[in-house]
Amino acid sequence: MTTEQKDVDTTLDPLFIQKSEEAYRNPTEVQMSQIVLPCHANHCGELSAGQLLKWMDSTACLSAERHAGCSCITASVDDINFEHTIGVGKVVNIIAKVNRAFTSSMEVGILVTCEDLYTDRQWKVCHAFATFVARRTEAGKVQLKQVIPHTQMEQMEYSLAAERRRMRLIHAEIITDLLSSSTAQLGECQEYQDAVPAERTRVESVELVLPPHANHQVSTFGGQIMAWMENVATIAACRLCNAHPTLRTIDMFHFRGPSHIGDRLVLKAIVNNAFKHSMEVGVCAEAYQGGEPLRHINSAFMTFEVLDSDRKPRTLPRLRPEPVDGKRRYQEAIARKKIRLDRKYIITCKQTEVPLSVPWDPSNQMYLSYNNVSALKLMDTRNNWVLTSEKNKVRLYTLEENHMLCFKVEMYISVPAEQTFHLLSDLRRRKEWDRHYEECDLINQADEDDTLYRIATPSVRKGGKGQDFILLASRRKPCDSSDPYLIALRSVTLPTHPPTEDYTRGEVLCAGFAIWEESSTLTKITYYNQATPGVLPYISTDIAGLSSGFYSSFCACSQFLEANKDSPAALPPSAPYSSPSTLYLQEEM
């Protein structure tokens, strides 16, 4: 057990469901509590990660079935980061609830905490998001009922579920793009004299699927398959380091097909690459019956560390990959490590730990875009805004939080929502109504949804320097009728556009528009901005009510939209895309 364990902070973890006296409880919520017995532990006296995966999958499946009203199967489990190990005698508490349902699939949020019964302390172990698909019934494909959020936390998770789904669907393409465009960045495979041959770490094991391994649907229990995969991956890791490794992260489990009683499951694992303090093990599960060919059931990539007596990561031996396929896996492991670091740096850190401007490149585009849109969605779901002023139905709200001043401006217009979205998406046209936009140049249209701009604004003081911004603009159309159109803005850094002496480089942490379709002709526009110190001089007098700047700008915006409501919606001109794909949301299975 790690020595520095922190009590669960329920205010910071949106997945944690607080105990309260309120009568409301999410109808899909399922809780499981298990005491860790010696039979659940490895030889170090710590809970086996495979056993924990089985409990997590069981809890999440029950939550999914409670919502669907029918049998459900695990389609995938998102990346898992294990923050702590769990010792014998501790209690594992697992909470699962459905965050959002799509057509026949749904996202289930899972939170795992550990409880010490003697000290009455709890701490977070991990959280994950699993995708479950409702099984076809005799009547055909199931159409899931929509989840209706009742609390601010539920609304936040409901909104973010669409963005996480987007990332799942394009995950494989991120790896492919990085490998094809960043070979120099990933580096060549180096030969080390004392390296351990990768072949030494290869493991192959077979399991016969018996009735105890099946779930209540008479298919192989997904959690059991994940546990078997974790077992062979651990053996492969042991063979590299000759010590007992600790599992730290799992890159997404993706179930590609079912398995049944009587199947033979062939489980294969090999160390793909060893870094200074961690190693990646690739593992796959294939099934067959009789003389039929192997069916690919699942695959995942697991990252292990080896801890010394002080619970610090040990330096690992180098790995010598096999020719051809081994070198390909070696390179892919480097790419996945880069993606894990990008994702952790951009997405999982607290806002106070991440610089306002994050370097942009094609390999981290998806995570920056996710972070950009998610930050705007989080602002949109907050319900503690304070109405500061109202003039002719243009409303200004403020919110002070974490030493930041957030504000939003809200108004209604008689222009269709989709046309409003297209008109506001092209930031080059914003200077037609916003006096703060002096210049706006399109730098790069990364793909249909993400565009990079350089914005210049005039000085707030006579004779002073103006400000310029390098902004990533991320567009999102609604996933369903309960979603708004979104245009999210945040600062990024580009080597090709460094700060200049003529302008002070400004930074935007979170800004943008949420556009709601109230009817076929009435649209609600909400503009958000999380004001940083560099932006405050431009808006402080407006927020204090000492000028009518906001009112004037958004009246001009309304007039601009009204004047162009029948014009063809012009998107930014096509530029060479950094990513070859246009994403259309579709069912996972």
Instruction: Tell me what pLDDT residue 339 has.
Output: 79
In this prediction, residue 485 carries a pLDDT of 96
pLDDT of the residue at 272: 95
Flag whether pLDDT at 216 surpasses 90: no
**What single-letter DSSP state applies at residue 101?**
E
Beta bridge partners of 441: 454
pLDDT in tens, 527-553: 998 876 555 555 554 544 434 567 788
Phi, psi of 152 (to 5 degrees): -65, -40
Please identify, in words, the CATH class of the domain defined by 359-563: alpha beta
The residue count of the chain comes to: 589
Residue where the block lists tokens 């304070």? 386
Domain limits, the chain: 1-13+25-148, 191-348, 359-563
224-239, pLDDT tens digit by residue? 999 999 999 999 999 9
Average pLDDT, the chain: 84
Q: What is the pLDDT of residue 356?
A: 62
Q: How much is the average pLDDT of 427-447?
A: 91
CA gap 162, 480 in Å, rounded: 10
What's the average model confidence in pLDDT over 48-76?
95
- Domain 1-13+25-148 identical in fold to domain 191-348: yes
The per-residue pLDDT for 350 is 56
Task: Give the mean model confidence (pLDDT) for residues 253-278.
Answer: 93
Examine the pLDDT at 283 and tell me if it is beyond 70: yes
pLDDT value of residue 189: 57
DSSP 8-state code for residue 135: P
Lowest mean per-residue pLDDT among 11-25, 135-149, 205-219: 11-25
Crossing angle of helices 549-563 and 536-543, in 10° steps, is: 100
Q: Of the given ranges (168-182, 272-286, 397-411), which has the lowest mean pLDDT?
A: 168-182
Q: β-pairing, 386-391 with 30-35?
A: unpaired
Structure tokens at 352: 């106070």
Average pLDDT (283-307) is: 93
What is the CATH architecture of 191-348? Roll (3.10)
Phi, psi (rounded to 5 degrees) for 190: -100, 145
Report yes or no: 158 and 99 within 8 Å, Cβ to Cβ: yes
Q: Which of 407-416, 459-468, 572-581 has the highest mean pLDDT?
A: 407-416
The CATH T-level fold of domain 1-13+25-148 is Thiol Ester Dehydrase; Chain A (3.10.129)
Q: At what angle do helices 417-425 and 549-563 cross, to 10 degrees?
A: 110
Give the model confidence (pLDDT) of 300-341 as tens digits.
Answer: 999 999 998 888 999 999 999 988 899 889 988 888 888 787
> What is the rounded distance in angstroms from the CA atom of residue 500 to the CA atom of residue 524?
38
Higher-pLDDT residue of 184, 65: 65
For 83-139, what is each residue's pLDDT tens digit? 999 999 999 999 999 999 998 999 999 999 999 999 989 999 999 999 999 987 776
336-365 pLDDT, tens digit each: 888 787 777 776 655 555 556 788 887 788
Digit-coded pLDDT (tens) for 8-57: 443 334 444 444 445 678 999 999 999 999 999 988 889 999 999 999 99
Mean pLDDT of 454-480: 88
From the number of C-beta atoms within 10 Å of its C-beta (0-12, 13-18, 19+), residue 245 rates as buried
Instruction: State residue 4's pLDDT score.
Output: 42
Determine contact, residues 398/543, Cβ cutoff 8 Å: yes
Model pLDDT, residue 166: 86
Tokens 């057990």 found at: 1
- Note the pTM of the prediction, 2 decimals: 0.83
